[in-house]
A = this chain, B = another copy of it.
Amino acid sequence: MDLTALRTANPDHWTKATAIRALTLDAVATANSGHSGMPMGMADVATVLFEKHLKFDAANPTWPDRDRFILSAGHGSMLLYSLLYLTGNPEITLDEIRNFRQMGAKTAGHPENFLAKGIETTTGPLGQGIANAVGFAIAEEIQRAQYGKKVVDHYTYVIAGDGCLMEGVSQEAIGLAGRLELSKLIVLWDNNNITIDGTVDIADRTDQVRRFAASGWHVIEIDGHDPAAIDAALVQAKGSNKPTMIACKTHIALGHAAQDTSKGHGALTDQGQLLAAKAAYGWAHGPFEVPAEVKSAWEAIGSRGAADRLAWEGRFAQLSERKQAEFNRAYAFEVPGKLAGALRAFKKQISEQQPKWATRKSSEEVLKIVNPIMTETVGGSADLTGSNNTKTDDLGIFLPENRKGRYIHYGIREHGMAAAMNGMALHGGIRPYGGTFMCFTDYARPSMRLAALMQIPSVFVMTHDSIGLGEDGPTHQPVEHLAISRATPNTYVFRPADTVETAEAWELALTFTQSPSVLSLTRQNLPTVRVENKARNLTAQGAYVLAEATGKRQVILIATGSEVEIALEARAQLEAEGIGTRVVSMPCMELFAEQDESYRRKVLPAGPVRVGIEAAVRDGGWDRWLLGERGREAKAGFIGMTRFGASAPAEELYEKFGITAAATVAKVKELLGS
C-alpha cells in the first residue's frame, strides 16, 4: 500500500484513523498479547462510520435511540476501545487503554458488555456479533412499531471478519435477516483474506457477496481504505429496503511489516517494526500519545450526537405518560405490577381444576397470561411452534408487513435464534423467549453460554425434555442437557413438575434481570401435584417439601419435573409399608443453592436415606444434594439415566431404563437394608 498517497489524499481522515492504529499497536505491545492487525485494517472504515454516520452521544452511551455498533470480530477489541476512548466515553479512559487485557481493566481481551457502557455485546466467539445484530435490528423494528419513529429510529452496524462469515451461525443470521428485510442492519465485512492459518482461500473460496445476495441482501463492494467510497456505501446502505452487506477490501495490519499476513492477525510486539509502522504513518508521537488536536477532533465526533439526543428527549417527553413508563419499564427489565396477581389467580384455579397437562402446554397457558400484560415479550421457535407451545394468539407474526408482530418464526436455526434473542435483550426494551427441543440445546449452546456471561435474561424454552418424548429416539432425547445448563455459571434451570410450578418458574424467569433461564418442559402429560393452593412462589426457594413423611422419616425422595409423579407414587408404596417418606420437589437447583443453610437443612436434614429421581444423568448436579455438600450426610442413591435413550413409546422407555416407582422403592429398601 502507498501510505503516502492515502495520507495526502485525506489528511484529516488519515490522522484520525491513525490514532486508532497507533493506540492499537501500543496497547497490544504493552500487553504483549492481543490482535493488532484487524483494528489497523478497519480503522478507515470505522473512522468514516463514526465520523459521518453513527448516531451516538459518547457522554451518554446508553441513550436508547442511539445507533448500535457491534464488533463481531471481537478479537479486534482495540478498535472498539480506541473509538470509545477517542470519542470520550466516560469509562474507557487512557488508563484503561494502557491496562488493556490486565486484571480488572474494562478493556478485556475481547469486548465484554458488562464491563463498560458503550460495549453493546460480548464478542470473541466468532459469528456471535453478526447473529446478535439480527436481534438488535428486530428489536428496533418492533419498538419503532410500538412507539413510533419519533422515539425509535436507529441503525445497527456490524463489523464482521472472515471468521464470522465462515461460522455456520452467520448463515442462520443472514438467512433470517434477509427474509425479515431488516433494512436497518448494515454489515461491514473486513475482507482482508487472512485467517490465523493462512490466507482465507486455504479453507474457503465462497463468493461472500453472491452468498449474501442469495439471501436477499443488498450488497456493495468497496476499497476499505477509501474514505469517500466508505461514506458513499454507507449512504447507499441506509437508503436500501434490504439489509446491506458492504464488502470492504482491506489490508490487515496496514503499514506494518506483517501487513497482509497471518502474523499480522495476532500480537505485533516487535518495537522496531512498531516504530517503523508509526513512521510510515507519519505518526511522530510517543506510546499512547494522541495529540490534543486529534483528540479534540475525535471528541467533536463523540459529541456530534448530543443535540440529537436532546431533541430525542423532547420527543420522548411527548409520549403519553403511560407509554413513557412502559418504555422505561421494559428497558429496566421490570415486570408489570399486575403480573403477580394474575399468576396467583391462575395457580389457584389450577390447584382446584388439577389438569393433566404436559408442562409445555402449561407453559403456553402461562404465556396466555403473560403476553398481554407484558408488551415487551417477543416469542418464537426454531420451527417447532406447535411442539414448543410458544405462540399465543395475541402476538402476531413479525414480518416485513407486520412490524408489530411479537412472534418470530426463526426457521430451523436454533443457534441463530438464541443469538438473536440475546441481541434483543441487549438492545433493550424487549424480553425474548424462544423454544426448541431440549436436545437441541447443543445447537444453541454457544449463545446460551453467552447469555449467561453477558448477564442478560433470555428465556430458553426447552420442551421434550427426556426419554419421555418417546419414538423420536436418542438423537432427540436429552440425557446430559440438564447437566450442561446446570454446569454453566449464572444460568437458572427450571424443571417444573406441573402447571403450578411452571407458572412459578415463568414468574421467576421474568423477574430476573441479569441471568438467563432454561425451562425444561415435558412432551408428555403430567398430573397436577400442587393440589393445595399457595399464593407464595414455592419454586423461588428452588426446592421444598411437597409431601411429608407420616410417622418416622426414614427416606427423602428428591425429584424434578416429570419424575415428581414417580416420587409420589413411590412414597405411597413406601408409606403403605410403614416407611416414612418425604418427597422434595426440586424445580431449580440453583435457587435452592442460594437459600440459607438453615432452609436447606430443613428441606434436606441429615440422616434419612436419600434417593434422587430424574430422567437424566446423575452428573447434573445431583450429588451435592444426595450426598451432602461436605459428604457424610446420608446414604444415597439415584434413579436416572446412565446411557443414551432409545426409540420406543415413552412408557416403555421409562420401564426399560428403570425410572419407575417400583425401581425407586427397591433402591430405597436396598439402601435401608445395607
CB-defined contacts of A211 to chain B, threshold 8 Å: 211, 214-215
Within 8 A of B (CB), among A127-173: 162-163, 166-172
CB-defined contacts of A480 to chain B, threshold 8 Å: 449, 484, 487-489
Task: Please pick, from B206, B472, B475, B624, the residue contacting A214 in the complex, using a CB distance under 8 A.
Answer: B206
Residue of A412, A489, A619, A621 with highest tally of chain B CB at under 10 A: A412
- CB A357 to nearest CB in B, in angstroms, measures 20
- CB A248 to nearest CB in B, in angstroms, measures 18
Identify the stretch in A42-50, A320-328, A438-446 within 8 Å (CB) of chain B at 4 or more residues. A438-446
CB-defined contacts of A210 to chain B, threshold 8 Å: 210, 213-214
- CB A305 to nearest CB in B, in angstroms, measures 29
B215–A203 touching, CB < 8 Å: no
Within 8 A of B (CB), among A21-63: 31, 33-34
Q: Which residue of B lies closest to A168 (CB)?
A: B168
B196–A385 touching, CB < 8 Å: yes
- CB A659 to nearest CB in B, in angstroms, measures 15
B647–A636 touching, CB < 8 Å: no
CB-defined contacts of A617 to chain B, threshold 8 Å: 487, 489
Within 8 A of B (CB), among A601-631: 617-621, 623-624, 626-628, 630-631
Within 8 A of B (CB), among A546-602: none
Contact with B along A350-389 (1 / 0, CB 8 A): 0000000000000000000000000000000101111100
The tally of residues in A whose CB lies under 8 Å from a CB in B reads 120
CB-defined contacts of A636 to chain B, threshold 8 Å: 630-631
How many subunits of this chain does the assembly comprise?
A: 2
B443–A125 touching, CB < 8 Å: yes
Q: Measured between alpha carbons, how far is A412 from B168 in the docked complex, in Å?
A: 9
A473–B440 touching, CB < 8 Å: no
A385–B168 touching, CB < 8 Å: no
Q: Is A300 an interface residue (CB 8 A)?
A: no
Q: Measured between alpha carbons, how far is A550 from B329 in the docked complex, in Å?
A: 64
Residue of A178, A411, A644 with highest tally of chain B CB at under 10 A: A411
Q: Is A490 an interface residue (CB 8 A)?
A: yes
Q: Is A646 an interface residue (CB 8 A)?
A: yes
Identify the stretch in A2-10, A106-114, A270-278, A340-348 within 8 Å (CB) of chain B at 4 or more residues. A106-114
Task: Please pick, from B112, B411, B449, B472, the residue contacting A473 in the complex, using a CB distance under 8 A.
Answer: B112
Q: Which residue of B lies closest to A419 (CB)?
A: B168
Q: Which residue of B lies closest to A473 (CB)?
A: B109
Q: Is A486 an interface residue (CB 8 A)?
A: yes
B412–A34 touching, CB < 8 Å: no
Contact with B along A628-641 (1 / 0, CB 8 A): 10111111110000
Q: Is A216 an interface residue (CB 8 A)?
A: yes
- CB A101 to nearest CB in B, in angstroms, measures 4
Given contacts A197-B381, A474-B453, contact A487 B620 (CB under 8 A): yes
- CB A515 to nearest CB in B, in angstroms, measures 12
Task: Please pick, from B202, B633, B652, the residue contacting A103 in the complex, using a CB distance under 8 A.
Answer: B652
Task: Please pick, from B34, B168, B206, B416, the residue contacting A170 in the complex, using a CB distance under 8 A.
Answer: B168
A101–B648 touching, CB < 8 Å: yes
Given contacts A168-B168, A490-B643, contact A475 B630 (CB under 8 A): no
A443–B167 touching, CB < 8 Å: yes
Q: Is A246 an interface residue (CB 8 A)?
A: no
B620–A631 touching, CB < 8 Å: no
Q: Measured between alpha carbons, how far is A200 from B412 in the docked complex, in Å?
A: 10
Q: Measured between alpha carbons, how far is A125 from B440 in the docked complex, in Å?
A: 8
Task: Please pick, from B474, B483, B647, the residue contacting A105 in the complex, using a CB distance under 8 A.
Answer: B647
- CB A191 to nearest CB in B, in angstroms, measures 14
B109–A619 touching, CB < 8 Å: no
Q: Which residue of B lies closest to A212 (CB)?
A: B214
Given contacts A490-B644, A624-B623, contact A475 B124 (CB under 8 A): yes
A108–B473 touching, CB < 8 Å: yes
- CB A641 to nearest CB in B, in angstroms, measures 8
Q: Is A179 an interface residue (CB 8 A)?
A: yes
Within 8 A of B (CB), among A626-674: 626-628, 630-637, 642-644, 646-649, 652-653, 656, 671
* Extra 17 A-B pairs, beta carbons < 8 Å, given A204-B215, A490-B644: A33-B472, A101-B471, A103-B646, A125-B475, A168-B172, A168-B416, A175-B206, A196-B383, A202-B409, A203-B413, A204-B411, A211-B215, A449-B480, A450-B475, A484-B487, A490-B643, A632-B635
The 9 A-B residue pairs with the shortest CB-CB distance in the complex, in nearest-first order: A168-B168, A203-B411, A623-B623, A108-B647, A124-B475, A171-B171, A103-B648, A483-B487, A627-B631
